[in-house]
Structures are given as C-alpha cells and as structure tokens.
Structure 1
C-alpha cells in the first residue's frame, strides 16, 4: 500500500510522468507541442492550477505548478488521460502511453527548492546530452524570462478532441505564473536566481558530456528521431520516490519537513484503523484527500505544516 499524500491548497510541486518503456512518443514536433500546450492549458484552467515551468522531453514530462484549490489528483488524472488519448491518435499508437510507475510528485517547500527544481526542469535537455543550452530545445518549454509574465498559446489540435464539444475551445492561452512565495516586486531577483542555477546545472552537464567524450545530439536530430524508437541509454530504476524538496544546504528545513510528513502519516494510520473497525467519527489529518473525496471522512481543519 502506498503512503498517503497530504494535499493542501496552495502547495507548489514538481511533477514528472514517464512514457512507457522510454519510447520517444513526445518527440518534439509541431503536432505534439500543440497537443501538450493545449491540453495543459485546458486542464490548468479547469482545476485552477498555476503553471510556473514545464519541459516536455521525448520520453517524459516535467511540470512545476501550484495547486491553488487542493485538487492536484483530479488535475493529474484529467491531464494525463487526455494527453494519453490524444497521443495515441496522433502517433497511431496501440497500448498504454504512460509508464506503470506512479507519477512523481515532489512538494517544493522553500524558495531554494523552487529555484533549483525549475532550473532542473529547464536544464533537462542539456543534462540528457540533447542540446548545449536549454533555450535550444525544440520541445515544449518555458524560458526563464517568461515566468510570471509570459503566456503560451495553442489552437485546438485536429486529433481526438471534438470541435463541437464546448470544453474544447478553438484557441486557448496558458499564463505562466510566479510561484506564490515570490512577491511581484521581487520577481526579477527570483528570475536571476533561476538563471544562475540553470547556468550552474548546464555547466555540470557540459563537464559530464566532456568527461564521457560524448557530443550533444542537437535540436535537429532530436526533432527527427522516430517516436517509435526507445532510449538506448541506461535508465536507472528509481530507488527513492521523494515527496518533498527544500533545496541544497537546508538541513533545518529538511528535518522540520520530514517530521511533519511522519506526523501526518502516523495520524492518518491511526484514523484509518479506527475507520476500518467501524468508527465513522474518526478524524483524519488535514490534507487527507482520497478518504475525504471518496468516503466523506471527517478531516481536521488544522494543517500540519510541511
């Protein structure tokens, strides 16, 4: 049984979902870019999700978002389902689109974590040896300067989505919001921090590519690889599935967050055991989502802050 996850309004997350068997189904081309932006924009608007950063790699997707209303599972279910169905039609693909592993959802608890994870998301094509600089990636991505002031645009894709259904508007926009912890008058300083961290991560990637005597593939090659091929490089299995991040050299914040996670899980287990033996008045900790949504359990109004 998986561990319960605390879902609270206003939390910021880095989200990663991988393609089945590392196929290049999201190979960057105009059609898949349009599909991903459009569905993300519709999904974000439907569930009140603020999007801060994203990068669509050929084999996986990265997002950094804020769940304003505390409905992240609903958003992910809808977004991933429509992306999969649209991709199956676009690529003429039979079978599942997504890997069997659960979506990675990492809550970002500090400004340092937000800076580092946004840079990590944007640097992904460089770290993978595909392009020398993040700005060269031809797939769906965000430029640092767009965070908090940019808007992505997409017309409705011609595949899968019924133009007669009013939920699929002809055109849609996706504003790129500032993370809620960043005040508007300090936005430029925040973007400068992300740029510095992105440059640091790019430099690390360049050094690693040089150490291995490899070359960057380049955007042209990445755009023309067959979507039915698979990544040949070794992909290590995820030994850990972290639930939160605080950034480098944030030991005190990490210990506080770990204690809060343990307290939430312990309180949840006690309430669940009481509920299972018929005590329907069992009080679950704030942030309980599944049991509240599908069984209507009572939930404490006091949040155990991470």
Structure 2
C-alpha cells in the first residue's frame, strides 16, 4: 500500500509523468504541443491549478504548479487521461500511453526548492543531450521570462475533443503565474534566480557532453525521431520517490518537513484504524483527500500545518 499523502490547498509541486517503456510518444510536433497545452489549460482552470513551469520531453513531462483548492488528484487524473486519449489518436497507438508507475508528486516547501525545480524542469532538454540551451527545445515548454507575465494559449485540437461539447472551448488560455509565495514586486529577482540556476544546469550538461566526446542531437533531429522508438540510454533505477523538496543545505526546513509528514501519516493511520473498526465518527487530519472525497469522513482542519 502506498503512503498517505496530504493534499493541502496552496501547496506547490513538481509533477513528473513518464511514458510507457520510454517510447517517444510525446516527441515534439505541433499537434502534440497543441494537445498538451490545450488539455493543461482546460483542466488547470477546472480544478484551480496555477501553472508556473512546463517542459514536455519525448518520454516524459514535468510541471511545476500550485494547487489552490486542494484538488490535485482530480487534476492529475483528468489531465493525464485526456493527454493519453489524444496521444492515442494522434499516434494511432493501441495500448497504454503512461508508465504504470504513479505520478511523481514532490511538494516544494521553500522558495529555494521552487527555484531549483523550475530550473531543473526547464533544463531537461539540455541535460538529456538534445539541445545546448533550454530555449532551443521545440516541444511544449515555458521560458523563464514568461513566468509571472506570459500566457499559455491553444486552440481546441481537431482530434478527440468534441466541438459541440461546451466544456471544450475553441480557444483556451491560461496565465503563467508566479508561485503564490513570490510577491509581484519580487518577480524580477525570482526570474534571475531561476536563470542563474538554469545556466548552471546548462553549463554542467555541456561540460559533461564534452568530457564524454558527445554532441547534442539538435532541435530539428529531435523532431524527426520516430515516436514508436524507445530511449536506449541507461536510466538509473528510481530507488527513491521523494515526497518533498526544501532546497540545498536547508536542514531546518528538511527536519520540519519530515516532522510534518510523519505527523500526518501517524494521525491518518490512527484515524483509518478507527474507521475500519467501525468508528464512523473518526476524525482525520488536515490534508486527507481520498477518504474525505469518497467516504465523507470528518477532517480536523486545524490539527496539522500543511505537510
């Protein structure tokens, strides 16, 4: 059984979802970009999700978002479902699109963690040896300069989305917002911090490629790869599945995040044991989602701080 996760309104996350067996099904193309961005816009609007960063690689995608209403699980289910269904049509693909593993959801508890994970997200095409600079990537992405002032926009894809259904507008748009923890007056400094961290990632990736005698694939060639091929590079086994990030060298923040997580899990399990024993008056800790939504349990919203 997976560990219980606190879903608290206002939390910011790094989200990662991988394609089945590392097929290149999300390889950059105008149709895939339109599908992903349109789907992201309509589902983010539906569930109160703020989008701060995005990078769609051929084999996986990354998002940095804030869940304003505590509906992250519904957003993930709908967003990934619609992207998968559209991809199956576009690629004439028979079978699963997504890896059978769960979506990686990492709660970003500090500003430094948000900066680091946004830079990590945008640097992905460079660290993968595809392009030398993040802005050269031809797939769906957010640029640093767009955070807090840009807009995602897409027309309704011609596949899957019924134009007669009012929930699928012909045109959709969504602001690329600053994380709520960053004030508007601090936006320029926030973007400079991301740029600095992104440039570090790019520099390290180019140096690593040079040491190995490797070049970069390039944007044009990345768009020519068959979506039915699979990545052949070695990928480390994902032994760890982090639930939070605090940034570099922040021991106090890390200790606080661990304590909050353990407190939530302990309280949740205690309440779940009571509920399973037939005590329907059991009160669950703040952040309880599944049991609250599907079983209507009571939640003590003042018991714990955001985990």
Q: Which residue of 2 aligns with 1:191?
A: 191
Unaligned 5+ runs, structure 2: none
Note if contact 1:110-1:246 (Cα within 8 Å) is conserved in structure 2. Answer: yes
Separation (CA, whole Å) in 2 of partners of 1:299 and 1:153: 38
Note if contact 2:25-2:58 (Cα within 8 Å) is conserved in structure 1. Answer: yes
The question of 1:86 aligning with 2:86 is answered yes
Note if contact 1:268-1:284 (Cα within 8 Å) is conserved in structure 2. Answer: yes
Greater mean alpha carbon deviation, residues 60-69 or residues 198-207: 198-207
Q: Which residue of 2 aligns with 1:208?
A: 208
Shift in Å, 1:203: 1.0
Q: Which residue of 2 aligns with 1:278?
A: 278
State the 4+ residue runs in structure 1 displaced beyond 4 angstroms.
none
Note if contact 1:161-1:168 (Cα within 8 Å) is conserved in structure 2. Answer: yes
Q: Which residue of 2 aligns with 1:304?
A: 305
Separation (CA, whole Å) in 1 of partners of 2:235 and 2:208: 16
Separation (CA, whole Å) in 1 of partners of 2:50 and 2:31: 24
Note if contact 2:119-2:197 (Cα within 8 Å) is conserved in structure 1. Answer: yes
**SS of the residue 1:262 aligns to:** helix
Unaligned 5+ runs, structure 1: none
Separation (CA, whole Å) in 2 of partners of 1:214 and 1:252: 40
Note if contact 1:264-1:304 (Cα within 8 Å) is conserved in structure 2. Answer: no
Separation (CA, whole Å) in 1 of partners of 2:176 and 2:266: 37
Scaled by the length of structure 2, the TM-score of the pair is 0.99
Separation (CA, whole Å) in 2 of partners of 1:7 and 1:138: 33
Note if contact 2:8-2:306 (Cα within 8 Å) is conserved in structure 1. Answer: no
Separation (CA, whole Å) in 1 of partners of 2:219 and 2:89: 25
**SS of the residue 1:278 aligns to:** coil
Note if contact 1:7-1:289 (Cα within 8 Å) is conserved in structure 2. Answer: yes
Separation (CA, whole Å) in 2 of partners of 1:50 and 1:212: 39
**SS of the residue 1:224 aligns to:** coil
**SS of the residue 2:223 aligns to:** helix
Q: Which residue of 1 aligns with 2:139?
A: 139
Shift in Å, 1:26: 0.4
Shift in Å, 1:304: 2.6
Q: Which residue of 1 aligns with 2:44?
A: 44
Instruction: Kindly report which structure 2 residues correspond to 1:1-306, keeping only aligned pairs within 5 A, or say none.
Output: 1-302=1-302, 303-306=304-307
Scaled by the length of structure 1, the TM-score of the pair is 0.99
Separation (CA, whole Å) in 1 of partners of 2:298 and 2:214: 56
Separation (CA, whole Å) in 2 of partners of 1:209 and 1:281: 59
Greater mean alpha carbon deviation, residues 229-238 or residues 114-123: 229-238
Root mean square deviation of aligned Cα? 0.7
Note if contact 2:26-2:56 (Cα within 8 Å) is conserved in structure 1. Answer: yes
Q: How many residues align?
A: 306
Note if contact 2:57-2:125 (Cα within 8 Å) is conserved in structure 1. Answer: yes
Residue-by-residue CA offset, 1:240-263 (whole Å, 9 max, x unaligned): 100000000111100110011011
